[in-house]
Structure 1
Amino acid sequence: MTVSVKQAILERRSIKKFNGQLVEKQAVLQILDDAKWAPNHGNRQPWRVVVATDEKLAQVHELLRDLAIPKWQELSEETLATQMQKFTLAGAYAFVLVTEDMRQKERLEDYAAVSCYLQNAQLLAWEQGIGTCWKTPGFLDNPKFREALQAKENERVIAMFQFGYFDEATPAKPRKELADFVTEFGA
């Protein structure tokens, strides 16, 4: 399926309900490699990505269960399985880290560059019929989570990025009209 850039931008949606089909590791790696052409000041490419596919997904699910579902041990198997679907139905994961420069200007530029990188990945995945969801749960800063990702002291985990196949995309929510966010200089 080939789509134009405009079509990909207008039609891409964050997928919240995946169908459980695994996404091949090579497809994820190709998307992440192509996404590296995102604009980034000074060609710093300040991102680092930890990928979980195939047999590594079980370890990710365990970690997410421990961090995201309080008192999961007290839940029935059925309730736990239902709550875990938001994690277990994704077909692959990419956890995105950014180097935190001590200089504010560079830190902001780097965060913007990683955001562009992730948008590229979303559009590239969409073109292949793979959905994504960029999540920023509170546990990204949890020491146990950082340790699992081998995050360095000067790195910030900024995204839990899910890849997966889906049966239905969520309809688009309305956007602001152009006149609501663009004004002419000097007006």
Structure 2
Amino acid sequence: MSEQSLSVREAIIGRRSIKKFNGQPVDREDLMQIIDDAVWAPNHQNREPWRLVVACGKELFDLHELLRNMAIPKWKELTEETLEKQMQKFTTPGAYVFVIVPEDVRQKQRLEDYAAASIFIQNIQLLAWDYGIGACWKTPDFLDAPAFREALGVKQGERIISMLQLGYFDDLPKAAERKKAKEIVTIFGQLENNEEE
């Protein structure tokens, strides 16, 4: 198991969305520990409105086949070299976590559950970062495809909200600029953000 060392602030500010992985496998024990810790996300009425389908290890080969069929429907028409190049974005992550939430018919509960699951996903990303594991939250169109839902065992009344790719990486992406507090905050009682400045 990896040693953890980052402060919360360091993890939040230092984390990057990793899109280029080096293919090194993610240890199942580390991934399960990350998930065990991530469940401490705040969630209304302690509903914990999430369940996961995880691929890490030998099951990745079957998942790669499914992803190929869903993301590259005309893959049989491609050369082996072209297919391999297009599949790299799916074959280099060392693990996948698909986050599934209930689609409550009540809008308030549905929004609360989605928000809680989003915090849970952020927890996974931050905890993984502390292990030296990068992550990227993706939402490809095929997550809603009936064949994909069936392959993951997604039931009626549930929705996949995240295909989280995790893995090790060689290059750290440059941080994108973020807005400062003064650009996004309006003090109560003022009409416009810092309009006078």
**Alignment TM-score, normalising by the size of structure 2:** 0.93
Question: Which secondary structure does the structure 1 equivalent of 2:89 belong to?
Answer: helix
Alignment correspondent of 1:42: 45
Alignment correspondent of 1:58: 61
Alignment correspondent of 1:166: 169
**Alignment TM-score, normalising by the size of structure 1:** 0.98
Question: Which secondary structure does the structure 1 equivalent of 2:100 belong to?
Answer: strand
Do structure 1's residue 146 and structure 2's residue 149 form an aligned pair?
yes
Which of 22, 25, 40 is matched with 2:25 structurally? 22
Alignment correspondent of 1:69: 72
Alignment correspondent of 1:176: 179
Aligned length: 187
What is the alpha-carbon distance in structure 2 between the residues aligned to residue 186 and residue 67 of structure 1?
Answer: 51
Alignment correspondent of 2:83: 80
Percent identity between matched residues is 62
What is the alpha-carbon distance in structure 1 between the residues aligned to residue 29 and residue 144 of structure 2?
Answer: 28
Question: Which secondary structure does the structure 2 equivalent of 1:51 belong to?
Answer: strand
In structure 2, what residue type is equivalent to 1:44?
R
Alignment correspondent of 1:113: 116
Runs of 4 or more above 4 Å deviation: none
What is the alpha-carbon distance in structure 1 between the residues aligned to residue 135 and residue 172 of structure 2?
Answer: 11
What is the alpha-carbon distance in structure 2 between the residues aligned to residue 102 and residue 35 of structure 1?
Answer: 26
Structure 1: gaps spanning 5 or more residues: none
Alignment correspondent of 2:106: 103
Higher-Rg structure is: 2
What is the alpha-carbon distance in structure 1 between the residues aligned to residue 56 and residue 156 of structure 2?
Answer: 25
In structure 1, what residue type is equivalent to 2:35?
L
RMSD: 0.7
